[in-house]
Amino acid sequence: MSAWVNKWRGALGKTSRNTDAPFIAIRETRATSPFWVMVQKEFGDHIRSWRFVILLGIVTLACIGSLYTAVTALKDGAQTVGGDANFLFLSMFTVSSNGLPNFLTFLSFLAPLIGIAIGFDAVNSERSKGTLSRVMSQPVHRDDFLVAKFVAGLLLIAVVVFSLGFLVMGTGLITIGYPPTPEEFGRVIVMLLITTVYVGLWLNLSLLFSVRFKQAATSALSGIAVWIFFLVFYGMIVNLVGNALMPSDPSDVQGYMDAQNLLTLLSRISPAQLFQEAASTLLLPDVRTLNPFVTQEQAYLAISSPLSFGQSTLLVWPHIVALIAETSLSFAATYLLFMRQEIRSRS
Amino acid sequence: MTTIEAAEPVIQLKNLSKTYGEFTAVDRLNLNIYPGEIFGLLGPNGAGKTTTILMMLGLTEPVSGEAIVCGVDATRNPMQVKRKVGYMPDDVGFYEDRSALDNLVYTARLNRIPEPEAKSRAMTLLERVGLAEAAHKRTGTFSRGMRQRLGLADVLIKNPRVIILDEPTLGIDPEGVRELLALIRDLSRNEGLTVLLSSHHLHQVQQICDRVGLFVQGKLIASGDIDTLSRQLDGSPAYRIELDVSPWSESLLTALRGVEGVTDVQLKDGAEPAEGAQQGAGIVTVAVSGTSDVTAELAQAAISSGASLFGLRPLRYGLDDIYHRYFEGGEKRERLG
């Protein structure tokens, strides 16, 4: 473990020294380190694969669909409903009409799918094809292999998410002819970053399953099961718990609030909930708080205007940290599992 | 056979043990392999051959003991060992949607060989293993024999000092096996590579190995070259000679038994020669065991006792016999215990 930490340090040191000429630096080093060779290869494999083409197709469809929804809604005069006309550009990502899903809904739905699709057979397919033991017998750290899988996947996800975001922004710009302010642009960028982290979490979970299960199908299924669990059942369970916890005495305000706070906390264990709240807060500057309760003083003293970009980010900062923490946790589990496994050919 | 044993061993296993729960895969193994030799690790499936190999590469940690490869402790410094040792797993796999060349270049780059050099080296090696025409074909289309040959090229691309081949001949047709073994032998002889190969195909290993080690239930029960091994067989004759004689008679039997050094005379079909059931005409094959080479004396004895000698074959113990005998012994021991 310390070996790759040191190597990372080395790599970081190298890049910071050569920040002005990174490409020349790469060419100058006699041979790229095995870690980056693996990342390159993984990335190349993803790009060439059929599954990437299919994912790209779905994503493009989602992009066109959400744009269609947004433009129809905006034409119908949704800007008066959707919020401040100041944030017309942002509403392109959030408004919907006739029950059609908007961009954010598409994203929260597709993100886990992308993550699972990229990671579910990362380790077990190498194992079953007999390439894992061959690669491991090269002078390569065992953890480098896993980290390379993750980094390559995350890079790919970042590329997909950002190109999707920019595509919607660009096409929207052409269609509605209303340019974004720098603040709006910043909000979208941060939202896309959060999306990348969120997809990264799902990638990590599916990596975990691909280490744990020898069959790619089992691993894909477990990934999808977890996804459906958080999408459908987790909310139900939280509600169930909530109903049981609610104080029977309706005048018990403190008890009521405690129960509600606990519920919020519980529901925020779900990465889907975290992402939903974080992304919508960023895209809807009108959201002033994510707490279910606002005291009278707070409501009375609040200025009735949208939050600034910085304040919105501050509001969702805990969500971002929680998402990163969950990602790290599942990576740690994957790491532990992988390091303890014995590598034999095809087993 | 050769005098390589004088040198410092390349692979040194000292009291190496590995257990999986209750099961002991490798039991206090001691083994030295010397530079330039071809060592065959022989044993039935599940004898612990692959586990031993994995411990040599630091891919699995031993419970006790140490594996020193090229002077480096494989458990503590697997990276240094893996730089010097090429390992071909049994049923080697490649990235199927990449070409053979890509696969080799990838391995080379994992060994920090710059890409241009990796490419030229890969092409040379592909030519050497006879896959030059298939260099740009996807490895998914390769046959088993081609995969093994590509595996050999893959092992060699990092310029190793030692190559370890796990069941290299498994599942290849006889001609492919012959070519592969010739290639391995050539590498060892011309480039001084130390080769360790594991197998349960005795005949193939017999052809090329300088020394073999017999591995049963995690223990190395014998090692040495084939002559030594055959002599190590306790209570068994070192020399066997088969004679085709006619006619068979009691006097012939006594004559053969009378030759100095002969310990046993048996009819080939298993019947006791003393029964005399086959007395009469017809060619009879007798197997004679002796403590020294008595071939010439036997021929003389047969002829002087009035029989015609049709054939005379001194038999060397093949690995097969050795292997079989050891396994019989092993089973007996188990039954007794």
Choose from B23, B110, B150, B158 for mutation: most chain A CBs within 10 A. B110
A38 touches chain B (CB under 8 A): yes
Task: Kindly report the backbone phi and psi dihedral angles of residue A285, in degrees, each rounded to the nearest multiple of 5, phi listed first.
Answer: -60, -15
Residues of B in contact with A338 (CB under 8 A): none
What does the H/E/C string look like for A154-169?
A: HHHHHHHHHHHHHHHH
As a whole number, mean pLDDT of residues A292-315 equals 76
The pLDDT confidence band at residue B236, using thresholds 50, 70 and 90, is low
A47-86 residues touching B, CB cutoff 8 A:
48
As a whole number, mean pLDDT of residues A157-166 equals 89
CA–CA gap between residue A94 and residue B154 (Å, rounded): 53
Q: What is the pLDDT of residue A8?
A: 52
| More confident: B100 or B214 | B100
CA–CA gap between residue B191 and residue B41 (Å, rounded): 21
pLDDT tens across A48-84, in order? 999 899 988 988 888 888 888 888 877 776 544 444 5
Q: Which residue of B83, B89, B96 is in closest CB contact with A133?
A: B89
For residue A176, is pLDDT > 60?
Answer: yes
For residue A313, is pLDDT > 60?
Answer: yes
Q: What is the pLDDT of residue A213?
A: 92
Nearest CA in chain A to B159: A138
The pLDDT confidence band at residue A167, using thresholds 50, 70 and 90, is confident
Nearest CA in chain B to A130: B93
Direct distance between the N- and C-terminal alpha carbons of chain A, in angstroms, rounded to an integer: 25
Residues of B in contact with A34 (CB under 8 A): 109-112
Q: What is the pLDDT of residue B331?
A: 47
As a whole number, mean pLDDT of residues A16-31 equals 46
Closest by CA position to A221, among listed A77, A120, A150:
A120
Instruction: Give the closest-approach CA distance of A343 to chain B in angstroms.
Output: 7
A139 touches chain B (CB under 8 A): yes
Nearest CA in chain A to B147: A130
A159 touches chain B (CB under 8 A): no
Helix/strand number for chain B, H first, E second? 11, 14
Share of chain A above pLDDT 90, in %: 31
Choose from B109, B113, B161 for mutation: most chain A CBs within 10 A. B109
> Inter-chain contact B57–A45, Cβ cutoff 8 Å?
no
Q: Would you tell me how many other CB atoms lie within 10 Å of the CB of residue B173?
A: 11
Share of chain A above pLDDT 70, in %: 85
Q: What is the pLDDT of residue B215?
A: 83
Q: Which residue of A131, A136, A140 is in closest CB contact with B95?
A: A131
Tokens in use for B9? 């061993």
| More confident: A288 or A159 | A159
A340 touches chain B (CB under 8 A): no
Mean pLDDT, all residues of chain B: 81
| More confident: A125 or B269 | A125
Tokens in use for B109? 């780059």
CA–CA gap between residue B226 and residue B38 (Å, rounded): 13
For residue B112, is pLDDT > 80?
Answer: yes
> Inter-chain contact B91–A31, Cβ cutoff 8 Å?
no
Nearest CA in chain A to B88: A134
Direct distance between the N- and C-terminal alpha carbons of chain B, in angstroms, rounded to an integer: 36
Q: What is the pLDDT of residue B49?
A: 87
For residue A327, is pLDDT > 70?
Answer: yes
Residue with tokens 């995969």: B147
Contact between residue A286 and residue A83 where contact means Cβ atoms under 8 Å apart:
yes
Q: What is the pLDDT of residue A27?
A: 47
As a whole number, mean pLDDT of residues B117-129 equals 92
What ipTM does the predicted assembly reach? 0.79
Mean pLDDT, all residues of chain A: 82
CA–CA gap between residue B73 and residue B58 (Å, rounded): 9
> Inter-chain contact B109–A48, Cβ cutoff 8 Å?
no
Instruction: Give the closest-approach CA distance of B336 to chain A in angstroms.
Output: 34
CA A241 to chain CA centroid, Å, is 27
Q: Which residue of B91, B97, B112 is in closest CB contact with A345?
A: B91
Q: What is the pLDDT of residue B334?
A: 41
pLDDT tens across A225-267, in order? 999 999 889 989 998 988 888 877 777 788 888 888 888 888 8
A30 touches chain B (CB under 8 A): yes
The pLDDT confidence band at residue B45, using thresholds 50, 70 and 90, is confident
A15-19, A81-85, B224-228, range with greatest mean pLDDT = B224-228
Which residues, 6 or more positions from B321, have their beta carbon under 8 angstroms from its beta carbon? Answer: B230
Task: Kindly report the backbone phi and psi dihedral angles of residue B231, in degrees, each rounded to the nearest multiple of 5, phi listed first.
Answer: -80, -25
Instruction: Give the closest-approach CA distance of B317 to chain A in angstroms.
Output: 34
> Inter-chain contact B93–A139, Cβ cutoff 8 Å?
no
CA–CA gap between residue A184 and residue A161 (Å, rounded): 17
CA–CA gap between residue A254 and residue A182 (Å, rounded): 43
Nearest CA in chain B to A142: B59
Q: What is the pLDDT of residue A1?
A: 46
| More confident: B285 or B103 | B103
pLDDT tens across B287-324, in order? 887 777 778 888 888 888 888 888 888 776 666 666 67
Q: Which of A49-53, A272-276, A303-307 has the lowest mean pLDDT?
A: A303-307
Contact between residue B26 and residue B16 where contact means Cβ atoms under 8 Å apart:
yes
Q: What is the DSSP string of A269-308?
A: TSHHHHHHHHHHHHH-TT-----S---HHHHHHS-SSPPP
Q: What is the pLDDT of residue A4?
A: 52
Tokens in use for A41? 């290869």
A10 touches chain B (CB under 8 A): no
Residues of B in contact with A129 (CB under 8 A): 93-96
For residue B50, is pLDDT > 50?
Answer: yes
CA–CA gap between residue A225 and residue A206 (Å, rounded): 11
> Inter-chain contact A343–B59, Cβ cutoff 8 Å?
yes
Contact between residue B158 and residue B111 where contact means Cβ atoms under 8 Å apart:
yes
In chain B, which residues touch A (CB < 8 A)?
50, 54, 57, 59-60, 79-80, 82-83, 85-97, 106-107, 109-115, 151, 154, 158, 166
As a whole number, mean pLDDT of residues A133-160 equals 91
Choose from B52, B82, B98, B112 for mutation: most chain A CBs within 10 A. B112
Chain A to chain B, count of Cβ pairs less than 8 Å apart?
85
**H helices within A95-215, ranges in order?**
103-119, 124-128, 131-136, 142-176, 182-212
| SS3 of residue B230 by DSSP | helix
Contact between residue A50 and residue B122 where contact means Cβ atoms under 8 Å apart:
no
CA–CA gap between residue B88 and residue B225 (Å, rounded): 24
> Inter-chain contact A133–B57, Cβ cutoff 8 Å?
no
> Inter-chain contact B93–A129, Cβ cutoff 8 Å?
yes
